[in-house]
């Protein structure tokens, strides 16, 4: 019985420059943008909360929602799963 296995890994540079405004909400929005990119989540409902360049256009209620989303998708949640190895 013969068994042949081939495994390939491809790495490509997806680096892009980000100018994140010096605002806590903008920084959380940038983090959410990165998370959504990595998990390939492109829903229209969340785009407003990931557009960190327009952070100042959010209402106070939307600011709170961004904060809650950031807590719900905390980096601790992804350790050993998506981004960070143990």
The per-residue pLDDT for range 20-73, each reduced to its tens digit, is: 999 999 999 999 999 898 888 888 889 999 999 999 999 999 999 999 999 998
Higher pLDDT, 9 or 25: 25
Is 83 contained in some domain?
Answer: no
Is-contact 18 51, C-beta < 8 A? no
pTM of the entire structure? 0.75
Is 53 contained in some domain?
Answer: yes
pLDDT at 7 over 90: no
Is 3 contained in some domain?
Answer: no
Give the relative orientation of helices 60-72 and 24-38 as an angle to the nearest 10 degrees: 50
Q: Which residue range(s) make up the domain with 61?
A: 24-78
Is 7 contained in some domain?
Answer: no
Residue 46: Cβ within 10 Å count:
15
pLDDT confidence of 1, banded at 50, 70, 90? low
Q: How many domains does the chain have?
A: 1
d(C-alpha 30, C-alpha 21), whole Å: 9
d(C-alpha 60, C-alpha 69), whole Å: 14
């Amino acid at each position: 019985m013969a068994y042949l296995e081939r495994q390939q890994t491809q790495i490509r540079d997806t680096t892009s420059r980000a100018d994140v405004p010096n605002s806590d909400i903008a920084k959380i929005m940038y983090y959410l943008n990165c998370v959504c990119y990595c998990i390939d989540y492109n829903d229209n409902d969340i785009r407003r909360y990931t557009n960190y360049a327009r952070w100042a256009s959010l209402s106070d209620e939307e600011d709170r929602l961004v904060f809650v989303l950031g807590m719900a998708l905390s980096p601790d949640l992804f350790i050993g799963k998506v981004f960070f190895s143990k």
